[in-house]
Amino acid sequence: MSEIHSQTVSYVRDTMIDEQVPPVAEAGAIKWIRTNLFSGWLNILLTVVSLYVVYLALSLVLPWAFGGVWNAGSLTECREVLSSFYKSSHGGACWAVIEDRWLQIMFGFYPPELYWRPILAFALFFVALAPVLFADKVPGQLIWFSLAYPFIATWLIWGGAFWAPVLAAMGFVVGVLVLKVLGKITGPIVANLGAVVAALLWWGAIMGPINDGLNKMVGGARLESTIATLQEEADRLPREVAEMEIISEEQAAGIADAVAVKNGMLQAMAEIRSEEFAIESQLEPKEIVLRRLVGAEESLENLVAILNEWDGVPTVASDASEADVSKAQVASDRASGLIQDVSGLLADSIADIENDTVEPSVVAAEMVATAAVGDPSILTDADTLVAKATLIDPLAALQERSQGISTRSSLDDIGALRTDIMAVIASLDADIATLSSILDKVIASNVDDLVEPQAALLSQMGNLATLRDEATVVAQDSFRVSTAQSAGRSFLSSLMTLPDQEASLPDLREQTIALRDALPRNQRGLIAVSQLPNDASSDEQAALSGYLDAQSNELSTKASIADTYVELGRVGLRPIDSRDIGGFMLALIIGIAGIVLSLPLGILLALGRQSHLFIVNKICVTFIEVIRGVPLIVWLFTGSLLLNYFLPPGTNFDLLLRVIIMVTLFAAAYIAEVIRGGLAALATGQYEGADSLGLSYWQSMRLIVLPQAMKISIPGIVNTFIGLFKDTTLVVFIGLSDPIGFSNLIRADTDWNGIYWELFVFIGALFFIFCFSMGRYSLHLEKKLQREHR
């Protein structure tokens, strides 16, 4: 290139080209669609097929879901409303069952007036989760509330004195204090064991007497005032119950009037649609006749096939084998049966036409007269209907000819009969098509007349639902007051006898001691007369029986006094029995408790399985393999049925607590294996780096190893938690009323017997919301902790 050329021609751009708008096909939604849905012929085919399948599914589901009924008191009323809108009994969802029973599905038998307690506990659960799930966005001091939340939630849901959760939390405080003290003078193993023993001693031996002492102290001060209050309630509550009964009767009368109005609306709509029903009454028997004639024609076709196969009558030579004779006999019997079927179907068809249909003139004059005013073509269609005689006479002739048919008849005769039947079928089919056309026109003429009654019916169903809701509230209040009245009388009786019981306790104790001292030493530990040797005398049996009765009387008196003081000295919330907890709340309690407890236990099991301590390693391996190798339902049955056999006599171990323990142990075994996978995925250098820093085992696990292993294990851990939460539905098999159990209870009610999909859709949606939320948070946490550059 010459010097002049290099100076005159620029070859390096000294300005940027202005930004241009990208092509339409290379940006936005169009690019995404081309890339993901129509990138190649196979992708296009899969997209089209998928869209078609989605369309089919939505075309069936959406009309059913959005065309449902929300206000009804029973499945029958749902079907009445659907029928008034030209829908079949399964043409729309009966969401009224959800509107009527959703509180039971959510809370079980929990007292309605106390719903605020589990709702508050659930709201506080998210507050307690905040410092754990979003530590970078909330104050760190909130973690103390997270630690206190299990005790607060337990107190809110189950109730009791306010100091009960405080005393329970003190067990952990005692354990931590003992851990710190022993940690300074002993090794970590002894310190941890000492902390566990100290906490168990607090809960098992110290907390109970302190709780009883507080109850007795507070109860003793409130004895006289409580008696006065109960006596006042004994006079007041019966009047409230009587007033509520009067209100209930008035509401029942109002509901009966509203139902009568609703039935009148349905009757008025039925009168508007009377011509539709009349045409349908003509269509149904003719459609039945059509199906019978088709069946007769098919029977003749099968008969011809048999005769063609055997070249006439199914017979064999005299020297034929037994198998051939049997085959011929079967064919002959089948041919005879087909002939009888043809004759019977034709006879039934004649009877249906004769008894269940009317002449076309009657249809025109009586059944469609009103609709024909607006649409004269209806009368034109009615004139084309086939007269009864036009159908009956050929059928009668065919039925008579069919009686002459046998296996010896010629194929031509059978074919002629079949052809004539097909001719009648064609005539009847055309008649049915005409009736269907008339029905469509009658329906079209009634649509405008039904708009206002349909709207009024929906409004009336809403009013009826409101009245029923108000009656339910009054019934619940009446039940609550009646229960309080019965409980108050029982408690007042206990308070009145409390001084006498306390006075008799020393004498009962002395009597028990005296009877015990009178027994031989080898019999003092027996708990039943049946445990005596077979050669024991009647005096020995009587002595042991007297001692056991005295001991039982003493223990029952102590228990009665203690229960009375628990109720009398309670400063807190009304206690709720675990049997009243059910529905989705039960699933949440089991699921949350299992998740919270199984994670730390699973971490310890994973570390124990990798431990070099032989005993610790084998115990953890055995635990994990045994728990994983048996289905959860078996462990639930074990906890509900067999666990009591291994506990001391008279021990009352709450069933819900047993279920939580079994679910926790089961989930912990799976969590342990997930975390062990995360530990195995770490490079050896991480462990060596921790050792090079001089960290102890627990320090290296807490600061270096476990954080990385937990990050790797996040998908597996969350997957296990989701599976655990869904597996809570298995408790229905051991008698707990989870959402599935309550769906069975609801369907057992005569009002909702026969309903299925609506309940399961609602329950499935609840589980999906929680499981999907856990999955989305898992993805968020993975992205947040991701440190690789990919």
H or E segment to which residue 572 belongs: strand 572-573
Determine the Cα–Cα distance for residues 476 and 175; give it in Å rounded to an integer.
45
Specify the pLDDT at position 17: 76
List of residues 6+ apart from 491 with CB closer than 8 A: 230, 564, 567
- Residue 790: pLDDT band (50, 70, 90) is very low
* CA pair distance 718, 673, nearest whole angstrom: 13
Domains and CATH numbers, the chain: 1-67 (no CATH), 99-109+579-790 (1.10.3720.10), 274-468 (1.20.120), 500-547 (no CATH)
| Rounded Cα–Cα distance for residues 676 and 670 (Å) | 10
In the chain, the amino acid numbered 15 is: T
Structure tokens at 413: 């005769």
DSSP state of 205: I
pLDDT greater than 60 at residue 779: yes
**What digits encode the pLDDT tens for the residues 647-697?**
655 566 788 888 999 999 999 999 999 999 988 888 888 888 888 888 887
pLDDT in tens, 436-479: 888 888 888 888 888 899 899 999 999 999 999 999 999 988 88
* Beta carbons of 598 and 244 less than 8 angstroms apart: no
- What is the distance between the alpha carbons of residues 99 and 657, in angstroms, rounded to a whole number? 31
Give yes or no for residue 645 having a pLDDT over 80. no
Query: What average pLDDT does this structure show over 573-586?
Result: 91
- For residues 521 and 286, the model is more confident at 286
Average pLDDT over all residues of the chain: 87
The residue type found at 110 is Y
pLDDT digits (tens, 9 = 90+) for 411-430: 888 888 889 899 989 988 99
pLDDT tens digits for 237-252? 889 889 999 999 999 9
Kindly give, in sequence order, each residue whose CB lies less than 8 Å from that of residue 281, ignoring residues fewer than 6 positions away.
356
Output the pLDDT for position 722. Answer: 93
Res 720: pLDDT: 92
Q: What pLDDT shows up at residue 495?
A: 85
Q: What is the pLDDT of residue 403?
A: 84
Cβ 105 vs Cβ 742: under 8 Å: yes
CA 608-611-612 angle, 5° bins: 150
Phi, psi of 707 (to 5 degrees): -55, -40
String of DSSP letters for 346-399:
HHHHHHHHHHH---HHHIIIIISHHHHHH-THHHHHHHTSPPHHHHHHHHHHHH
User: What mean pLDDT comes out for the span 477-490?
Assistant: 89
DSSP secondary structure, 479-542, as one string: HHHHHHHHHHHHHHHHHHHHHHHHHHHHHHHHHHHHHHHTS-GGGTT--SGGGS-TT--HHHHH
Tell me how far apart the alpha carbons of residues 273 and 84 are, in angstroms, rounded to a whole number.
9
Q: Could you write out the DSSP letters of every residue in 245-293? A: HHHHHHHHHHHHHHHHHHHHHHHHHHHHTHHHHHHHHHHHHHHHHHHHH
pLDDT bin (cut points 50, 70, 90) of residue 1 is: very low
The 10s digit of each residue's pLDDT in 29-69 is: 888 888 888 888 899 999 999 999 999 999 989 999 998 89
pLDDT at 567: 85
Residues 6+ apart with CB under 8 A from 594: 660, 663, 664, 667, 724, 728
The tokens for 228 are 């006065």
Kindly state the average pLDDT of the residues 594-599. Answer: 92
pLDDT at residue number 7: 55
Q: Record the tokens describing residue 181, joined without a space.
A: 């003290």
DSSP structure string for 588-615? HHHHHHHHHHHHHHHHHHHHHHT-S-HH
Identify any residues that bridge with 160 across adjacent strands, giving them in sequence order: 573
The one-character DSSP state at 19 is P
Segment 613-624 shows an average pLDDT of 90
3-state SS assignment for residue 89? coil
Q: Which one is predicted more confidently, 529 or 167?
A: 167
Six token digits for residue 66: 């959005």
Model confidence at 132, in pLDDT bands (50, 70, 90)?
A: confident
CA 391 to the chain's CA centroid: 55
Residue scoring higher pLDDT (378 or 164): 164
312: left (phi over 0), alpha (psi -120 to 50) or beta: left
Please say if the pLDDT value at position 578 is more than 60. yes
Q: CA-CA distance, 706 to 709, in Å (whole number)?
A: 5
Percent with pLDDT over 70 in the chain? 97
Q: Which helix (H) or strand (E) holds 160?
A: strand 160-161
pLDDT value at position 487? 87
Dihedral sign of CA atoms 524, 503, 501, 218 in order: negative
- Report the DSSP beta bridge partners of residue 108: 581
Q: What are phi and psi of 160, to 5 degrees?
A: 110, -175
Most confident of 217-226, 331-340, 767-776: 767-776
